[in-house]
Structure 1
Amino acid sequence: MSLQVDPIYETAKAEPPTPASQRRHRRPSTMRWLILAIASLIAAIMLSPFLLMVLNAFKSGADYSANGPLSWPEFFSVDAFYNYLSIVNFPVALWNSILISTAVAFLGTALGLISAYAIGIGRVKGSGLILALLLLSTMLPHEALIYPLFYGAQATHTFNTVWSVIIVFTVLQAAFGTYLLASVMATVPKELLEAAAIDGATRWQILRRILLPVLTPTLSVLIVFFFIWTWNEFYIPVVLLADQSSQTVPIALSTLRGQHNIDVTVLNAGSLLSLLPTLIFFLIFQRTLSHGVTAGAVK
């Protein structure tokens, strides 16, 4: 006598039922879709000024006057870019901004590291007061510093040169870097440093072999921030860099504003060209920035 097996039983046996937890993971919940919709709306709001700038940069002057800033261009024109490059010596301004921002980013971070090492590890007397003064110096408005900086640049013959801005912002950024790095160094266990000193490590070796691996994420974040902050500076550079050959990108962009009129399409084209280097820099170092913010635990 032969036994017949129900095909439905065989199918159920070959394919076990999917657990309820897996079915829930396959179907995004309503809350996930709501969070995604809110995040998309916030992203659209944040990107809208940039998209509006791009649209107006590729408009002609007549198109902007006739249809306004919110309309789609009748045709994409690059005349605004040609006009901007004919008015402003953009390659020179771009090189000056890159030189100043890069020099300040690395010099300010290095100076802050050395100063913080003396304060955070060397246990300098009155270190708390020193850090408070450094933090206070970062809060001072630039208008309160401009007169001594102006006369100091004239006295040192650095006026109208990029070195005046590099020196000023290296010191200003290093003050913040010293405060931040000294706070991080103060959390390093003393036993670790004492053990290294007993093994014969010099102060330079302690800084290079023990502290630098711990501080690398924080140093990377400082370099990125110092570069972007210095790139966007306007008030002090516009006073110390009066000559066109030493002007930075923000200063060159400000020369487009006339006393009675302004070409909005040219201004948008210049703003777009001024924004692209920092945007590219941020995209390149985005992973470094995100890792530096979340890392830094002492092991």
Structure 2
Amino acid sequence: MAPVVAEPASPPPQAPRRRRLRRGLAGLASYGVAAVLTVAVVVFLAPFAVILLNSFKTSADFRTNGPLSWPAEWDWAVLAEVWERVDFTQKLVNSVQTSLGVVAIAVVLALFNAYAIGIGRSRFRVSLLIFFLAANVLPQEGMIYPVYYLFREIGLYDTKIGYTILIGVVYSAFGTYLLSSVFASFPRELLEAAELDGAGRWTVLWRVVLPLSWPTLSVMCVFFFVWSWNEFLVPLVLLISNDNHTVPIGLAVMESQYTSDPTGLSAAALLGVIPMLVFFFIFQRTLTRGVTAGAVK
């Protein structure tokens, strides 16, 4: 006699309906998120589109058709005229020099400071972190005039090297605070193993800590470069000579009290944005890897 096999109980009729309802709600939620992100992207890119359109218009075309119209004729001479008027080559060289110098100073100082605080376990670790945190929240408006008088006394006023050192030291405070938290969670077993192999502090820093911290350092380099490139108040006060102006300052002096050139200003804004776009296209892989490595860690 064949054994009797019990048939599995069929799911209640409401279960498939509930699953379909959940899938439908999930689909609607995904479409809603996509719609919101699309609107946000359009709103974000709209000013850049307006700048791009007006950068190739003549002044007569702008006055006749307005800022939102398609150019009647693409006038590439506007960019060339603004380039020569602003002496954009010199401004571009100044911005690249100062930004690279700021990155070098800030990253090196932050690396040494964080190594002493996070791994060296300095006695005044908490006090130093509070100090660097306070330096991060100090507004530029509060320090610019004391720095102005100090630089005039020591001969660093209106010099690119003085400006570079100042911004590099200021940015190193943020880098120190960031790296200290990273180094504090560094595996002590790895450091102790390197010390047992006869590695000194310098060897541990260069051969162990630095390679493992490179993702964080690469992100810091990108951020410091962009922040330094966009600095406005400090170079406006400390770099008054036309030969020392950076790109933001050189573009800002185009607008005066009695004259206005909307197409020229749009072309100048486009020239100021293009280097940053090129920079991000070159280093986007480095930035993505650094952020991903920090998230996985």
Superposition TM-score tier, normalisation by shorter sequence: 0.7 to 0.9
In the alignment, what sits opposite 2:7?
Answer: none
Deviation of residue 150 (structure 1)? Answer: 1.1
Q: Deviations along 1:22-66, whole A, 9 cap, x unmatched?
A: xxxxxxx66655544443332222111111100011111111111
In the alignment, what sits opposite 2:263?
Answer: 265
Number of aligned pairs? Answer: 272
3-state SS of the aligned residue for 1:285? helix
In the alignment, what sits opposite 2:42?
Answer: 44
In the alignment, what sits opposite 1:277?
Answer: 275
In the alignment, what sits opposite 2:158?
Answer: 160
Matching residue's letter, 1:228: V
In the alignment, is the contact (CA less than 8 A) between 1:103 and 1:166 conserved in 2?
Answer: yes
Separation in 1, partners of 2:290, 2:283 = 10
TM-score w.r.t. structure 1 length?
0.86
Q: Deviations along 1:190-241, whole A, 9 cap, x unmatched?
A: 2322222122111011112221122110000000000000000010101111
Matching residue's letter, 1:114: F
In the alignment, is the contact (CA less than 8 A) between 2:219 and 2:286 conserved in 1?
Answer: yes
**Mean Cα deviation higher: 160-169 or 150-159:** 150-159
Deviation of residue 152 (structure 1)? Answer: 2.1
Q: Deviations along 1:248-291, whole A, 9 cap, x unmatched?
A: 00000111111123101100101100111111001111111111
Separation in 2, partners of 1:297, 1:191 = 22
Separation in 2, partners of 1:256, 1:49 = 19
In the alignment, what sits opposite 1:131?
Answer: 129
In the alignment, is the contact (CA less than 8 A) between 1:165 and 1:240 conserved in 2?
Answer: yes
Separation in 2, partners of 1:155, 1:82 = 40
Question: 2:193 aligned with 1:195, yes or no?
Answer: yes
Matching residue's letter, 1:57: S
2:78 to 71, 77, 80: 80
In the alignment, is the contact (CA less than 8 A) between 1:214 and 1:296 conserved in 2?
Answer: no
In the alignment, is the contact (CA less than 8 A) between 1:60 and 1:79 conserved in 2?
Answer: no
Deviation of residue 298 (structure 1)? Answer: 9.2
Separation in 1, partners of 2:130, 2:54 = 46
Separation in 2, partners of 1:153, 1:78 = 42
Flag structure 1 segments of 5+ consecutive residues without an equivalent: 1-28
Flag structure 2 segments of 5+ consecutive residues without an equivalent: 1-26
Alignment identity in percent? 44
Separation in 2, partners of 1:32, 1:259 = 50
3-state SS of the aligned residue for 1:295? helix
In the alignment, is the contact (CA less than 8 A) between 2:105 and 2:165 conserved in 1?
Answer: no
Separation in 2, partners of 1:264, 1:164 = 34
In the alignment, is the contact (CA less than 8 A) between 1:100 and 1:162 conserved in 2?
Answer: yes
Separation in 2, partners of 1:120, 1:155 = 36
RMSD: 1.8
Matching residue's letter, 2:199: A
Deviation of residue 109 (structure 1)? Answer: 0.6
In the alignment, what sits opposite 1:14?
Answer: none
In the alignment, is the contact (CA less than 8 A) between 2:247 and 2:272 conserved in 1?
Answer: yes
3-state SS of the aligned residue for 1:62? helix
